[in-house]
Every structure is written in structure tokens, then in C-alpha cells.
Amino acid sequence: MTAANQLVSIDIGSHKICTVIARVLANQRIAIDGIGISPSHGFQRGAITSKAQLSSSIKQSLERAKSIAGSLPSLAICSLPQDNLHFVKHTGFIHKPQATPITDTEIQQCFQRSTQLPDVDADTTIIHAIPTHYCVDQTTVKDPRGVSGKSLEITSHLVLTPTPPITTVFGMLKQLKLDPKGILLDLVATGDLLITPEHQHTGAWVLDIGARQTRVGYFSNHTLLEATIIPIGGDTVTQDIAHCLAIDTEQAERLKLLFGSVGTSPGKPISVHQPGGNTIVESELLTAIITARIDELVELIRKTNWAESWANTPIYLCGGGSLLNNLRHYLGPVLGGIPQPLMPTHLRDWVKSSAYFTAIGLIVAGLRTKCIAIEKPSGLSQLWQKSKAMLR
């Protein structure tokens, strides 16, 4: 039997699909009941290449999580990374004949106008509409509620994505007897989970280095204020190694994981098995190949119009590409920010692997933003020993 207030989150990626089954307990605490990971098939480069294979991969991940949790809830939330996401800032405006205190209704009306882009068609969905800036009578305010004025402006950060993949995935989930309540940008999920409460208040950057892309976002007060996607990821580095050393991608991936480093080299020669015999690769050459691509990533970040905001700002890294040796210490100085531990202190006793970051973050962010609605628990339940209060 499914536990009360239990839900499932599904992080769909090009390499893996991670499912987390969790319960929402008293005082907005969550307890992890089950986790399942399966290889991802049928989803490549941000596109669905095989509906049957992707559905089978999702089902396998769900079954592995269910085998631990004992049951599979119907309420679901998911992430679906795509190559052609778009980030747009748009402002809504209302004007009143007289200066009166701004009401909740007027704020909602103005916010709705900020989401009404004139050129959005049926094949595009706004998956996030995040208000980032308020003005009353052309004066910036933190909260316009109750402020007297004749005009209100709300600028929102909109995240747009193609509609067909979302429709397809929701259809798959329904066939698996799930009730999908929403889809969240994976960057929003990881940022909500990784960044400490202190840094949420002062502001922090998140670099989610995936297989094909790096998602970059600036967060403050749980709000994604700036974001971009750069087409460089862990697979890009692997392909560079394979091309420069004339080896296959499987060997290149092994070299990257075991001996790869950024900026500084271990200094020891590396033996690579080839069909005609072993080949010796200088570790300095491997480091140079990797560092060249990371430097390109840094330059593309610097070309954004908000790159100057990196100065002395915390930087959180996540994603499979973030595990490169010395990457954290290399990026800090070149970007001017302060690198944070790959496993932040507030997560160490609760989340044992970065592979679960996005899936767990989906639950945290979905509950906080009310993307998924959970009824109040009927009574106090015992938390797992390693559960932490993640929602505030």
C-alpha cells in the first residue's frame, strides 16, 4: 500500500534515469524511501529517439526504486533536459487611474501579463515563470504588496521548451500509471538542493556539467535570476581525448575518469591498451587536452552579459562532468568565484551520491514552488535517521 503523502521524482538524462520515492512528513520534512537508477536509452542530445526504449528505461528505474520503497506512488514530478531551451526576460505592466495600495489581485494580474509573450506558439511551453523584479511607479521594491502607487511592473524570467517532448513523456508516465503533476528545469532542482540557506540569501552560482551541456545559473533567495546553456559537457571532453589520442571513446572515457585532470598533471605516463599493443600517453598531454576544452567553457561563460557577477561569489558544481580531478579548484580562480565542496556539508549525512541531486532537488523545489501539492500529514511519522529538514 502506498504511504500517505508519498511521491516519485524522475530525473531523465542522456546517460541515466534516476528515480526517487519520498514521503512528505510533518514540518515540511521529507524522507527518502527508495532510489533507483537505470541506463537511459531512447533519449539522446535532448531529443527522444525511441519512445519504446525510453519508456522501458523509465520503467526499470521505477521498479528498482519500488523494490526498496515497497510501493510506487502515483504522484510524479520529473525533469527532461533539452538542447533547445530558451531563457527570456519579459515585463508585465498595469496602470491605475489613482494611487492606491497594490493588491494581491493586481500583482497576480501583472504577473500573468509578464508571461504573455507575443510570439509563443502551441509547440512551445513555458515551464517556469519566475518573477525577479518589481517596480511601483518606476521605483524598485522588494515586495509591492500594500505599496501605494498608480503603476506596477513585474519582470519575470521565463524558461521555454518545445512542447512535443513534454507531451510524449507525460503520456509515457500515464501509461505507467503515474499522475505527472509538473516538469521542472533540472538546474532549478539542483540549485534549490545544493545551495546552503546562507548562500541562497547572498547569492550563488551553479554549474551543472552534464554529458552534452553545461547549465549555468545564478540563484538568490531560491530564485533563478540568470541562466544560460553552453554546449560543452563531459562527453565533449571524452571526444576530444579520443580524437587527439586516436583511441576509441570507451578508452577515452576510462582515461578521463581515472587519470584526467584540469590545469595540473599527475606527471606519470599512462599505458593505453591498443589492438596492436600498449601505447604510452604522457599525462601532461592528457591534461592539456582536457584543460583546453575547460578553458573554452570558461570563455563562453565570460562572454555572457552577467559574467562580472562572479567576483567572490560561491560556485557550486554538479553533474557527471564536475568530477574531473582539480576542476573545482581550477574554475574558482579563473572565474573569480569561491568554489564550494562537491558534496556540501548540509547534504553529507543525507545524500550519499551526486547522482541523486537532481531527483531529490525536484521534490524540494516542487514542494516549495507548489508545482506539486501535498496534503498535510494526518499525524507525526518517524523520520529515517538520515533524513534532514530540507524545506524551510
Does CATH place domain 6-83+164-191+348-368 in 3.30.420.40? Answer: yes
Residue type at 102 in one-letter notation: I
DSSP 289: H
Who contacts 258 (Cβ-Cβ below 8 Å, separation ≥6)? Answer: none
Burial-class residue 30 by CB neighbours within 10 Å (0-12, 13-18, 19+): buried
Here the cell at position 50 is 525511441
pLDDT of residue 383: 35
- Assign residue 234 a region: left if phi > 0, alpha if psi is -120 to 50, beta otherwise? alpha
Question: Pairing between strand 204-209 and 214-220?
Answer: antiparallel
Here the cell at position 289 is 587536452
Q: Where are the domains of the chain?
A: 6-83+164-191+348-368, 86-161, 200-343
Q: CA distances (Å), 346 to each of 193, 219, 332, 364, 383, in order? A: 10, 18, 21, 14, 17
pLDDT of residue 375: 57
- Assign residue 43 a region: left if phi > 0, alpha if psi is -120 to 50, beta otherwise? beta
Cα 7 from Cα 373, distance rounded (Å): 10
CATH for 200-343 is 3.30.420.40
Who contacts 264 (Cβ-Cβ below 8 Å, separation ≥6)? Answer: 287, 326
User: pTM to 2 decimals?
Assistant: 0.85
Angle, helix 186-194 to helix 357-368, in steps of 10 degrees: 90
CB atoms closer than 10 angstroms to residue 292: 12
Q: Are 133 and 111 in contact (CB under 8 A)?
A: no
Q: What is the 3-state secondary structure (H, E, C) of 222-263?
A: CEEEEEEEECCCHHHHHHHHHHHHCCCHHHHHHHHHHHCECC
Cα 307 from Cα 335, distance rounded (Å): 8
Cα 175 from Cα 298, distance rounded (Å): 42
Cα 170 from Cα 176, distance rounded (Å): 10
User: Which ranges of the chain have pLDDT less than 70?
Assistant: 1-4, 27-28, 276, 305-308, 372-392
pLDDT of residue 118: 85
Instruction: Please name the fold of domain 86-161.
Output: Dna Ligase; domain 1 (3.30.1490)
Which uninterrupted H or E stretch holds 315? strand 314-318
Who contacts 119 (Cβ-Cβ below 8 Å, separation ≥6)? Answer: none
Cα 20 from Cα 22, distance rounded (Å): 6
Cα 147 from Cα 102, distance rounded (Å): 6
Query: Do 6-83+164-191+348-368 and 200-343 agree at the fold level?
Result: yes
pLDDT of residue 20: 94
Cα 250 from Cα 210, distance rounded (Å): 17
pLDDT of residue 27: 67
